[in-house]
Amino acid sequence: MRRRNIVSKPLSVPKRSASVTFSQKHHTRLPSRNTALKQSRMTDLNPGAGHRARLRKRLFEGGGEALLDHELVEYLLALAIPRRDTKPLAKKLIKQFGSYGALVAADPEAIARAGDLSEGAVAAIKIAQASALRLLKSRIAERPVLGSWQALLDYLHADMAHNPVERVRVLFLNSKNVLIHDEPMSEGSVDEAAVYIREIIRRALDHHATALIIVHNHPSGDPTPSQQDIRLTRDIVEAGRHLRITVHDHVIIGTSGHSSLRALGLL
């Protein structure tokens, strides 16, 4: 018999099909362990991120009235101190200064000392006051002041009510009673500010003003005019009368409100 040469062929092994997971089937990548650890570390570095997101949501949906005073301060501080829980610090500052208004109006050095804050954190608080004053002042700009009286009072109260030192300013008006210059005149002790009648009249002439409104604050918070306030106002009225400069009013600002000498019949 003839022998056959039999050549053995390697057996072909069918390829195993790759298993398809549910996440691959739906084109979704599961987070790796490293990614999860990274997210966890970010949460640890910024523990207040979720809380601040909730504050933002309340602000957007309900406006500023939806946030408490300390929450406003908390969010302002978070802009400068993003990796710190600023809620306890915000409550401490509100308690120490007595109110939100007193805090944002306070001297920058006083705020820094109260909370051991950096310049950036203090600036975050003071920029809130600057923005509010800019908005309020825009409501009386280039329009007759006497026709925007409440807007003027709102601006003056925001700027002066919480000042710990007595300060005098004069609003100089043109013939249409439009504000042409808002000028600080003097700053005194807690009890009184020295006002020079001649200086007020001279500055009115320098600005070509035909009328003016005197404004000062009472650090005590009580806006009731003193006898000295009344006497000083009448002296300025008399000095201006000879030069045809009208004194429309003398407004006294306090934390509890304001007094108008004209409304009280004292001019």
- pLDDT tens, N- to C-terminus, the chain (267 residues): 445 544 445 555 455 544 444 344 444 454 455 544 444 444 445 656 788 889 999 999 999 899 999 999 999 999 999 888 999 999 999 999 999 999 999 999 999 999 899 999 999 999 999 999 999 999 998 889 999 999 999 999 999 999 988 999 999 999 999 999 999 998 875 455 667 889 999 999 999 999 999 999 999 999 999 999 999 999 999 999 999 999 999 999 999 999 999 999 998
Retrieve residue 78's tokens: 């978070």
Q: How many CA atoms lie within 13 A of 117 on its CB side?
A: 29
- The token duo for 19 is 């298993």
Do residues 118 and 79 touch, judged by C-beta distance below 8 A? Answer: no
The rounded distance, in Å, linking the Cα atoms of 78 and 69 is 14
Query: What is the SS3 assignment for 249?
Result: strand
In order of 40, 124, 230, the CA distances from 82 in angstroms are 17, 12, 51
Q: Which domains does the chain have, with CATH numbers?
A: 45-135 (no CATH), 143-260 (3.40.140.10)
Q: Indicate the DSSP class of residue 265.
A: T
Name the CA dihedral angle for 103, 110, 162, 213, rounded to a multiple of 10 degrees. Answer: -130
